[in-house]
Amino acid sequence: MAETTSTAPTTTDLVRGTLEGRRVNPVNTLVSGLLLIALLSSLLVLAVLLADVFGKGWGLLTERGADFLTTPLSPNAVDAGIFQGVMGSIALTAIVIVVAFPLGVAAAVYLEEYAPTNRLTQFITTNIRNLAGVPSIVYGLLGFSVFVNLFSGATGGRTVITGGLTLALLVLPIMIITTSEALRAVPTALREASMGVGATRWETIRHHVLPVALPAILTGSVLTVARAFGETAPLLLSGAVLSLYFAVPPEAGFVSLMTEQSYTALPMIIYNWARQPQEEFVALTSAAIIVLLAMLLIVNAAAIVARDHFERKST
């Protein structure tokens, strides 16, 4: 047997040779290489961005430490902090959560669980998808017309409430879309079983559909809120203050800071500092960006923790 294989290749060997020999195809390697380069270069950009920002801002951040977070804005780069920005961003995010989360979930529940398939439902769904595509600065104009001017009595004009409501409207369509997807993933059998034993629609939703969909809803919502957190353009128009001076000192306390005066937000400060021509502001801006990215990271990590918590609870 050994002699036959050594003298002439068998048919099996020939076939295997032609099949396996072509495994390394130059075109294949080239194409997959190019595709991988396309993917990796986007990730490289991310890495370079982070390295650049950390390289420029980390020194200042470690030098100033927590002081950077608790000192107020100042026109002098040497002692400028981001206190009002952090506070403003937290307040804005709180308003966005309070307004957009219940509204978004309620709208999604209606569209997924109650809505009949008719023209009106179709119109609302299309409309929400289109709203999700409206540029954020246009929401700023809406906020300006409606909350700064029309309802200035209720919002107080250029206040943090105006900014928060504007951002809430901005993220509402995205909130509805992500919640709808979460609800759609809940098996129909669950609803049928619940209604089969006599539960009403709302009882079914409350006790069976929402608990199952909750992890996905929460994750989607947090990602959406994170978007609002980094948003700048709508705030330009709905009253956030750009000034390097900021009248209220940190000692004044959170409530008076937010209600008595105009507000600002962390991304607004970054925008304003990035526009300054002086060299000192580059490090300052980078440090503020690090804080912004760190806060976004915390928010996203909270989403993951919340999802795990609820997933464990439901099983």
Partner 1 sequence: MSVTAPQVPMDLSGDPRRQRRERRVRSLFFVAAALSIIISAAIVLSLAGEAWGFVTAVDPASYFENGWLPRRGRYSILTIVWHTLMVSGIAMVVATPLGLGAAIYLSEYARRNVRRFLKPTLEILAGVPSVVLGFFALNFITPNVIQPLYAADRSNLLAAGIGVGILIVPLVASVSEDAMRAVPRALREASYGLGAKKWHTSLRVVFPAAISGIVAALILALSRAIGETMVVALAAGTSGILTWLPDSSGLTMTGAMADLAIGSDQVTSATAVQVNPFQSLFFVGLMLFVITLVLNVLSERVVRRYRQKY
Q: Interaction with partner 1 in 42-61: which residues (CB under 8 A)? A: 42-43, 45-46, 48-49, 52-53, 56
Binding test (CB under 8 A) with partner 1, winner from 176, 183, 217, 258 = 176
Inter-residue contact 229 to 112 (CB < 8 Å): no
Residues near 137 by beta carbon (within 8 Å), at least 6 away in sequence: 233, 234, 236, 237
Q: Which of 85, 90, 86 is nearest to 244 (CA)?
A: 85
122 touching partner 1, by CB under 8 A: no
Q: Nearest approach, Cβ of 309 to partner 1 (angstroms)?
A: 20
Structure tokens at 7: 């003298």
Shorter beta-carbon distance to partner 1: residue 10 or 200:
200
Structure tokens at 56: 């420029």
Instruction: State the Cα–Cα distance between residues 68 and 81, nearest whole angstrom.
Output: 5
Q: Nearest approach, Cβ of 52 to partner 1 (angstroms)?
A: 5
302 touching partner 1, by CB under 8 A: no
Q: Which of 164, 134, 149 is nearest to 240 (CA)?
A: 164
Q: Nearest approach, Cβ of 8 to partner 1 (angstroms)?
A: 27
Structure tokens at 197: 């034993």
Count the Cβ atoms, other than its own, within 10 Å of residue 151. Answer: 15
Q: Nearest approach, Cβ of 215 to partner 1 (angstroms)?
A: 17
Binding test (CB under 8 A) with partner 1, winner from 71, 151, 157, 201 = 201
Encoded one letter per residue, x for contact with partner 1 by CB under 8 A and - for no contact, window 126-165 reads -xxxxx-xxxxxxxxxx-xxx-------------------
Encoded one letter per residue, x for contact with partner 1 by CB under 8 A and - for no contact, window 18-47 reads -------x-xx-xxx-xxxxxx-xxx-xx-
For partner 1, how many residues bind (rule: CB under 8 A)?
85
Shorter beta-carbon distance to partner 1: residue 225 or 258:
225
> Which residue, chain included where needed, has tokens 């021509």?
277
Shorter beta-carbon distance to partner 1: residue 90 or 141:
141
Q: Nearest approach, Cβ of 190 to partner 1 (angstroms)?
A: 19
DSSP conformation class of 77:
G
Whole-number Cα distances in Å, 68 to 71, 75, 86, 88, 177: 6, 14, 11, 15, 38
